[in-house]
Structure 1
Amino acid sequence: MNATETRALLDRYISAYNRMDIPAMLLTVHSDIEFKNISGGVVNATAIGATELRALAEQSISLFSERHQEILSFEYTETHAAVTIAFRAIIARDLPNGLKKDQVLELSGRTDFEFKDGLILKITDIS
């Protein structure tokens, strides 16, 4: 994939994420998808395969009444892309980690992507 095709794929993935449209998100990922979320140097979520990613996505949408990711920068190679992301969400209910219902959560970070067969093969979120 070239840079334009890669960016379009990532835009489709993030748009589906923002809409909380899990079926549309899964259309952009390879069946062998590997997902990892790293926050503060600690891996706090992983999923291997589309089935696990679907389950993780279904679990995570209940945490937010709304959420939005925006790509701030985009770096591309033939097999990888790295994007800087701004994330904003509103918490849907009080959470065990101390976040409260209606609290606004704003983070920035980087997401690294790898590709195979025109789809996203690996996603590593780092914040």
Structure 2
Amino acid sequence: MSPTDIRALVDNYIDAYNRKNIDDMLMSVHSQVEFKNICAGVVNASTNGVADLRTLAQQSLSLFSERHQKIESFELQGSVAIATIDFRAVVAADLPNGLKKGQVLNFSGRSEFEFQDGAISKITDFS
């Protein structure tokens, strides 16, 4: 895959995420996609395969009334694409972890993407 193709896949995935369009989001990923979310060094979500990622994505839709990821920087290191992401979201309802409805979350993180057969095969989010 060319660097242009890789960037287009990542951009399409992020754009669909921002639009809360799970079907479009999953069009960019491999059927055996692996996903991990790591917060403060702890894996707090992981999936294997597109069906598991779809389930997680559907569950997360209700968490935020608004959400937006913006790529601040993007680079390729070998076969891995690394994006620095600014994330902004508004909590939709009081959550068991103490977040309150209407609370605005702003933070930066990093997403690493790997590829196979012209699709995203692994996503690791760090925050």
Q: What TM-score bracket applies, with the shorter chain setting the length?
A: over 0.9
TM-score w.r.t. length of structure 1: 0.97
Structure 1 runs (4+) deviating above 3 angstroms are none
Match in the other structure for 1:42? 42
Q: Deviations over 1:43-90 (max 9, x none)?
A: 000010000000000001110001000001111145210110000000
Contact 1:16 1:22 (C-alpha < 8 Å) held by counterparts: yes
Mapping of 1:62-73 within 5 angstroms? 62-73=62-73
Match in the other structure for 2:118? 118
Contact 1:37 1:45 (C-alpha < 8 Å) held by counterparts: yes
Matched, 1:30 2:30: yes
Matched, 1:83 2:80: no
User: What is the aligned length?
Assistant: 127
In structure 2, how many angstroms separate the alpha carbons of the residues matched to 1:2 and 1:70?
Answer: 22
Q: Please, which runs of 5 or more residues in structure 1 have no aligned partner?
A: none
**1:5 deviation in Å?**
1.1
Contact 1:2 1:78 (C-alpha < 8 Å) held by counterparts: no
**1:22 deviation in Å?**
0.3
TM-score w.r.t. length of structure 2: 0.97
Q: Please, which runs of 5 or more residues in structure 2 have no aligned partner?
A: none
In structure 2, how many angstroms separate the alpha carbons of the residues matched to 1:28 and 1:61?
Answer: 19
